[in-house]
A and B are shown apart, each in its own frame.
Chain A
Amino acid sequence: MLGDTVSILEGDTFVVSNRQGDLDGTPTLPHGLFRSDTRFLSRWILTIDGRRPNALSVDDVHYSSAQFFLVPGTGTVYVDAPLSVIRTREIGNGFHEEIRVVNHSKDPADLVLRLEAGADFADLFEVKDALTKKGRQYARVEPDRLVLGYRREKFVRETWIMPSASATIDEGGLSFAVHIEPQGEWSTQIDVGVLADSWRTTPEPVKTRSRADAPRPAGGTNLAKWLEDAPALEASWPALKRIYLKSLTDLAALRYYPRVAPQLALPAAGLPWFMTLFGRDSILTSLQSLPYTPELAETTLMLHMLQGVTVDDFRDEEPGKILHEMRWGELTAFEERPHSPYYGSCDATPLYLILLDEYERWTGNGQLVRDVESPARAALAWIDQFGDRDGDGYVEYERRNKKTGLENQCWKDSWNSIVFANGELAKLPRATCEIQGYVYDAKMRCARLARTFWNDPALADKLERQAADLKARFNKDFWVEDGGFFALALDGDKRQVDSLTSNIGHLLWSGIVEKDKAKKCVEHLMSDRLFSGWGVRTMASNMRAYNPIGYHVGTVWPHDNSFIAAGLRRYGYDAEAASVSLGILEAAEFFNSRLPEAFAGYPREMTRFPVEYPTACSPQAWATGAPLLLITTMLGIQPVGEKLLTDPAIPVAIERIELLGVRGRWGHSDAAGRGRLKTAMKDVRLSAA
């Protein structure tokens, strides 16, 4: 569906159109101008003499602007079009559009160019769920502009459409009577401004990146500077450099300036549905990108500003908990959805603590660790007091909000993801295995922080004791003796949910796995049942619930694999890490250097190419971050004291990787390595160009 659309974005403002540049949104079709989780324009259709022109081509190489080249339909390929229409659209805090019509004929042209405009002011949740509005819509024709509006009590949203050329304006759009001399040209500029705050009476002037009055300070958004600050990558496999640059560019596009802290940028989860604050997604993406763009991690660590303070069933909030998702649309405003913010994720809190430690290890910014001591302690307290709901020593989840809360509060959050090997759904509350790994890692890391920065050796000792105890119990309680792997979860009756899944790779990443059990986990991860040849499937193919195109029960997720590869290296399985890394990066080349959120779990030898999965979002932040973590893993770069250590484990097919100018507590360092490891795939043929 998104393949036929063109998306441009700036922070939480984005436009999704068709290839003509038209917005033809319906309750279920995600076209529109969106800002702050509201659709401010759902119809924006260009006609010439009542007919919609045809698209010749689209130029959308820059994520904040697009050009559409159109010709009026002639009905036959044998007749040259006498006119060209060029729409240039640039987004900022609204959008600016220029429409140029060029007359190629030797005769003057007289035509009526019309822009049909409409706004349904749908909340993003309404676009997805096709709900009806509770307020009143209106349209107002004012001198030189059309105002479309929506009011519900004091909640007001408006769209102001302001053309530069003389137009006849009615409540349904703008019409231009156009006369163009032979070989001549006509154009108009149109500003579409949005009023997204109820107490304002006029929208902010439309600002875009190319105008002098850009919406953000240039240093914060300038793509060239963003790329210049990141390490330079050189590789004998040219595609790797393309994938790397695509990841960095997409990360820049996904930078989100939250309304609650507008001076800070952190990675939003994905376009178009998830351009907002997400605890888990922002944290994992920040972990993946730490050696490349450490400023994202620094901002993500400010998530504590919205840390839970009380017990609130509606929001699944508990003291010390890190948020799951923040929204600004009408349904959130009127508390018909809990996202103000919503706290329904069980892993974001330990992952926050992991990021805090990892950030300091790379950057040496101990002051930040001291500054967030209090929220970090509250997060640790949440793990023991609220995360472990029943005092069994494991963190488990069951939503407090039974109506609109999330049933699964781990990363595999679809309803059918936590199942037994026989396909039976696990009973709540569920303690998924990877969350226990994150908790172990968080406590070990916070022990270091407590000793080094918080001047609290007693807390450090306590956390290390707790972590050691957790590791010992976990390796007994979650270990499926018959299968030789860790259970996906313990269910509400403390039964092992005995599915074989990719989650065991996250356990390696966390360090909770005892060495003698790691070998068996690795054998499973690299077996035909889990490893498709492109990557590790979310669920093994011999499980009853397995489906190669099931969202969390058989597809391959690049971000999942990036953490699995890191886990494999942590336990010394370098060749296996190289296989997973190469498989995912080869897949990226098939997807024009941009990895999707997930792709199908079909075996490599069956399809010969990774089969696209119709996902909702592209780019997706943690898929964008996956190549970065894979490069980190292949080069084996990690901070050791004040230095950057390099310990390459590169597939022989890649030959050579160099990463120049890695920023960190050491200043800038270079890392390089040669490919020496044979991989599990037998048909690797990397492109030479």
Chain B
Amino acid sequence: MSKHIRDIIDDVLRGGFNPAFENTVATYRFDVDGEGSWLIKINHGTIFVFEGSGEADCVLSCGADDFEPIITGKQNLLTAHMQGRLRIEGSPVAALRFINTINSRAPKRAA
């Protein structure tokens, strides 16, 4: 199951670089019940993923069943949070922007 979580993360991130994060330096941690923890570190667009715990700017905790819909954006992050299916330590806005950005279909640069 652990590998599965990692696969889901890799599928969503689609590579180690996302230009939408070019101004971002932040660490997000997912704590998945019964599965473990994963750190996603972003440094000016470059993304690193590590299994295990550690310091993070924003920690998202959820059950194994909720993880995939939340990280892929199929389940709205804020309503998952409101329903009690997702705990957010840190800024909910930062978490929302992170999830939105990795799943975004919006133009990266506008006007």
Residues on A with C-beta less than 8 A from B110 are 319-320, 377-378, 380-382
Which of the candidate stretches A97-105, A333-341, A532-540 sits at the interface with the other chain?
A: A333-341
- Given the interface pairs A259-B92, A306-B93, A309-B100, the reply to whether A334 lies near B106 with Cβ below 8 Å is no
Chain A residues near B4: list those with CB within 8 A: none
Stretch among B9-17, B43-51, B82-90 lining the A interface: B82-90
- For B96, the chain A residues whose CB sits under 8 A away are 260, 306
- Chain B, interface size: which category? 20 to 34
Chain B residues closer than 8 Å to A260, beta-carbon distance: 78, 91-93, 96
* Chain B residues within 8 Å of A328, by CB: 82
Instruction: Establish whether residues A334 and B83, one from each chain, have CB atoms under 8 Å apart when the complex forms.
Output: yes
Interface check A26, CB cutoff 8 A: no
Chain B residues, CB < 8 A from A381: 107, 110-111
CB of A156 within 8 A of chain B? yes
Task: Give chain A interface residues in 164-202, CB to chain B under 8 Å.
Answer: 197-199
- B3 proximity list for chain A (CB < 8 A): none
How far apart sit A340 and B86, CA to CA, in the bound complex (Å)? 15
Residues of B contacting A335 in the complex (Cβ-Cβ under 8 angstroms): 76, 79
Minimum C-beta distance from A122 to chain B (A) = 16
Interface: A211 (CB within 8 A): no
A684: Cβ under 8 A from any B Cβ: no
A380 to B111, Cβ gap below 8 A?
yes
Q: Which residues in window 67-86 of B have CB below 8 A to A?
A: 76, 78-79, 82-85
How many residues from A make CB contacts under 8 Å with B? 31
Question: Of residues A261, A328, A340, which shows the largest number of chain B Cβ atoms within 10 Å of its Cβ?
Answer: A340
Candidate in B76, B87, B100, B106 with the most chain A CB atoms within 10 angstroms: B106
Cβ contact within 8 Å between A340 and B91: no
A305 at the interface (CB under 8 A from B): yes
- Tell whether A198 pairs with B93 under 8 Å between CB atoms, given A335-B76, A381-B111: no
A-B interface pairs (CB < 8 A), number: 73
In the complex, residue of chain A having the shortest beta-carbon distance to the beta carbon of B66: A154
Q: Does A155 contact B (CB under 8 A)?
A: yes
CA distance A310 to B76 in the complex (A): 12
Given the known A-B contacts A310-B104, A310-B105, A340-B76, are A377 and B83 also in contact in the complex, defined by CB atoms under 8 Å?
no
With A310-B104, A380-B110: A198-B92 Cβ-Cβ less than 8 Å: no
Q: Are A155 and B93 in contact (CB under 8 A)?
A: no
How far is the CB of B106 from the nearest CB of chain A, in Å?
Answer: 4
* Distance in angstroms between the alpha carbons of A260 and B82 in the assembled complex: 11
- Residue in A260, A261, A306 with the greatest tally of chain B CB atoms within 10 Å: A260
Return chain A residues, CB-CB under 8 Å to B111. 377-378, 380-381, 459
B6 within 8 A of A: no
User: Looking at the complex, which one of B84, B103, B104, B107 makes contact with A154 (CB distance below 8 Å)?
Assistant: B84
| Whole-angstrom CA separation of A381 from B93 in the bound complex | 22
| A380-B104 Cα distance, complex, nearest whole Å | 18
Give the shortest distance, in Å, between B24 (CB) and chain A (any CB). 12
A305 and B105 within 8 A (CB): no
Interface string of A414-431 (1 = CB under 8 A from B): 000000000000000000
Contact across chains for A199 and B106 when beta carbons are under 8 A apart: no
Asked if A333 meets B105 with Cβ closer than 8 Å, knowing A309-B100, A378-B110, the reply is no
CA–CA, A574 and B103, complex, Å? 52
Asked if residues B83 and A155 are in contact (CB atoms below 8 Å), the reply is: yes
Given contacts A198-B84, A319-B106, A377-B109, contact A305 B76 (CB under 8 A): no
The proximity string for B residues 24-38 relative to A, scoring 1 for CB distances below 8 Å and 0 otherwise, is 000000000000000
CB distance from A343 to the nearest CB of B (A): 13
Tell me the smallest distance from the CB of A580 to a CB of chain B, in Å: 36
The residue among B82, B103, B111 with the most chain A CB atoms within 10 A of its own CB is: B111
Tell yes or no: A332 within 8 A of B by CB. Answer: yes
Looking at the assembled complex, report how far the CB atom of B59 sits from the nearest CB atom of chain A, in whole angstroms: 12
Q: Is A153 an interface residue (CB 8 A)?
A: yes
**Contact, CB under 8 Å: A261 / B105:** no
Contact of A333 among B61, B82, B103 (CB under 8 A): B82
Q: Is the C-beta of A56 less than 8 angstroms from some C-beta in chain B? A: no
Which residue of A156, A261, A341 contacts B84 across the interface (Cβ within 8 Å)? A156
Complex-state Cα separation, A380 to B91, whole angstroms: 27
CA distance in complex: A333, B81 (Å): 8
Which residues of the other chain, A, contact B76 by a CB distance below 8 angstroms?
335, 340
Contact B107 A319 (CB under 8 A): yes
| Bound Cα distance from A319 to B103, whole angstroms | 13
Q: Is the CB of A340 within 8 A of B79?
A: yes
Query: Closest CB of chain B to A136's CB: distance in Å?
Result: 14
Inter-chain CA distance A198–B96, complex, in Å, is 19
Contacts of B85 in A (CB 8 A): 154
Closest residue to B100 on the A side, CB-wise?
A309
Q: How far is the CA of A305 from the CA of B61 in the complex (A)?
A: 22
**A305 near B97: Cβ-Cβ < 8 Å:** yes
Verify A332–B79 contact, CB threshold 8 A.
Answer: yes
**Which of A155, A261, A377 is B91 in contact with, Cβ under 8 Å?**
A261
| Residues A333 and B83 in contact, CB atoms below 8 Å apart | yes
Interface pair B105/A311, CB less than 8 Å apart: yes
Taking CB atoms, residues of chain B closer than 8 Å to A378 are 106-107, 110-111
Question: With a CB–CB cut-off of 8 A, which chain B residues contact A380?
Answer: 110-111
**A-B CB contact pairs (8 Å), 11 listed:** A154-B83, A156-B84, A199-B87, A305-B93, A308-B106, A310-B105, A319-B105, A319-B107, A333-B82, A334-B79, A378-B110
Shortest 9 CB-CB contacts between residues of A and residues of B = A198-B84, A381-B110, A333-B82, A154-B84, A319-B106, A377-B111, A380-B111, A309-B100, A305-B93
B contact residues vs A (CB 8 Å cutoff): 61, 76, 78-79, 82-85, 87, 91-93, 96-97, 100-101, 103-107, 109-111
Given contacts A156-B84, A310-B104, A319-B106, 17 further A-B contacts (CB under 8 A): A154-B84, A197-B84, A198-B84, A259-B92, A260-B91, A261-B93, A305-B93, A309-B104, A310-B105, A311-B105, A320-B106, A320-B110, A333-B82, A340-B76, A340-B79, A340-B82, A377-B109
